[in-house]
Structure 1
């Protein structure tokens, strides 16, 4: 019988190879040729799945974003009702901060996506940012005492979500580039200190 090829799995294997190249060689090193070599494929075989370098880059960003979103969903399912709200949301936001090797690799990928987007617009890049902003809105919405889904939220929630998003991005940068000054335990403590400052905005 002819061998059944899982094309989606092949595409994801190529995305993982691209991530390894980015971690090792940086954004500029992740070309079709270098990714194909990392995966043990020919350039022609890679182009069967991704006709352009841009398509490969867009898929890599999507795969890593899905990985982070899956971890966040799993943490919500595991910790909701078990942890105090502040601890729950702090744990979710920590998934965006490079506190271990896996998250450091993902942070390097986001830096690569930023560089690639500067060279040429990548489909979905803004949506990825919007997804992160949405998480920060949900966190502030809950900490501020609102219930349900954050639809047509209080403008103050949006403002605090912006503050929090910028703050978490800053923590991520410091965790990545000055880990001796901002080790994981300090990052976690500072994050919780900031979250404790979110005011209770819900009426009553």
Structure 2
């Protein structure tokens, strides 16, 4: 499998992103191609930017969601190809790779939140708590992706961003609630 040339590097490994499946599906199954920077290029930009870890994590996760026209097209193609892969076995491998890439992106986000070194592709985070966080996050992202793509009128970009920030806080505990809020039970 060829990896995206613009995928960010962690040591000697390349990080594929959802863009791999989007590009493969768009070319082979849907006959469309994106016009702007790829998901992996945008994620690479966030990984290499001088950002606080939680901000980096949020921006990485937002690249997987339909926050603007370009990302909406990417998500629509992703969902169409995801469904198509259930009946078209030629899309099985790209689907598996995209599945692994999304989970890797979520592990990168968790590591960023906690100030940990970036895990390599396929490398799990150490510790049961971090593993639970990394397992929960893609479920949330997938659900939010499906909801926002199928009912776009019900979601604004600011609302989507707020949902990501709240889930990030719930999953990782970062940023922590101010002391007075945690005393009163949160919201």
TM-score range, shorter chain: 0.5 to 0.7
Aligned residue among 82, 85, 97 for 1:117:
85
Aligned residue among 28, 41, 47 for 1:56:
28
Aligned residue among 103, 115, 123 for 2:71:
103
Q: Which residue of 2 aligns with 1:90?
A: 58
Question: Is 1:184 matched up with 2:184?
Answer: no
The whole-number CA distance in structure 2 between the counterparts of 1:177 and 1:70 is: 26
Q: Which residue of 2 aligns with 1:74?
A: 45
The whole-number CA distance in structure 2 between the counterparts of 1:88 and 1:159 is: 20
Unaligned stretches of 5+ in structure 2?
1-21, 175-187
Runs of 4 or more consecutive aligned structure 1 residues displaced over 6 Å after TM superposition: 58-61
Aligned residue among 167, 175, 182 for 2:148:
175
Indicate conservation of the 8 Å contact 1:133/1:165, yes or no: yes
Unaligned stretches of 5+ in structure 1?
1-14, 20-54
Q: Which residue of 2 aligns with 1:193?
A: 166
SS of the residue aligned with 2:155?
Answer: coil
The whole-number CA distance in structure 2 between the counterparts of 1:109 and 1:73 is: 21
Q: Which structure's relative contact order is higher, taking Cα pairs within 8 Å and 6+ residues apart?
A: 2
* Pair 1:148–1:127, CA change in 2 (3 A): closer
Q: TM-score, normalised by structure 2?
A: 0.65
Q: TM-score, normalised by structure 1?
A: 0.60
Taking only aligned residues, the RMSD between alpha carbons, in angstroms, comes to 3.1
Post-superposition Cα deviations, 1:98-152, rounded to whole Å, max 9, x if no partner, equal: 0111111111111121222111222322011101101101211232343353645
* Pair 1:84–1:144, CA change in 2 (3 A): closer
Q: Give the number of the structure whose residues are more often helix, by fraction.
A: 1
* Pair 1:148–1:108, CA change in 2 (3 A): closer
How many correspondences in the alignment? 145
Q: Which residue of 2 aligns with 1:166?
A: 139
1:163 to partner: Cα distance: 1.0
Post-superposition Cα deviations, 1:68-124, rounded to whole Å, max 9, x if no partner, equal: 1122112322xx32x322111111111100011111111111112122211122232
